[in-house]
Structure 1
């Protein structure tokens, strides 16, 4: 089994498959979108492939150490773009191909008018360390 992180990016600007930004969706359209993701996760819980997931608030802050003990803080999470990470899910699957299949199915979550939004999802494998060399 291999774990993968699915990052859901929200883009404020419309795309060809999502011609209405989410802030203009009806409450029923937002509910349908969220329910699709809940159902998707519930199906994967039954197969043991779903690990965890959370939605993220749009507010955020960039923080880094400044070398003098006071971290500088900058509004974020992405002040220069309309793109932000809206949430994440972790899956644990048998293969990269299965991870691609699941990411593709999640990408079809409904949006305005019930049409699939075909959103881009970032699929990232968890870093795995090679086994330690046996020195005996």
Structure 2
């Protein structure tokens, strides 16, 4: 088994097939999209492939080390930016091919007009550290 992170971006650098911004969807279209996401997570939970997943808010902040014990905090990221993470899933699957298959299925979540969104999802394997690596 190998773990993969599937990142769901909001209007990322690669536009989805159905490029209607979510804030222009009807409440019913948003509900259908969210139900698809919940059903997909339930399916992966039942198969034992879902490790964790979460949608994230469109607001947040940046923090960095400043060397003086009080890290600066800056507002952002902002929904107006080119790329904003909307959520993520961690899956534990038998192969990279399975991770690709799941991401392809997730990309078909319904959007405006009920059409598949066709969004690009970022899929990244977890770093495989040696067993004796001390973290």
TM-score scaled by structure 2? Answer: 0.89
4+ residue segments displaced more than 4 Å: none
Alignment of structure 1 residues 1-136 onto 2, 5 Å: 1-11=1-11, 15=15, 17-77=17-77, 81-132=81-132
Gaps of 5+ in 1: none
Distance (Å, rounded) in 1 between the aligned partners of 2:33 and 2:113: 11
CA deviation vs aligned residue, 1:75-123 (integer Å, no higher than 9, x gap): 2125882321001111110000000000010001010000011111111
* Aligned partner of residue 97 in structure 1, secondary structure: helix
Question: Do the aligned partners of residues 108 and 15 (structure 1) sit closer, same or farther apart at CA in structure 2, a change above 3 Å counting?
Answer: same
- CA RMSD, Structure 1 to Structure 2 (Å): 2.2
Change (3 A) 1:20 1:79: closer
**Cα distance per residue 1:22-55 (max 9 Å; x no partner):** 0010000000001111111111112111111111
**Alignment TM-score, normalising by the size of structure 1:** 0.88
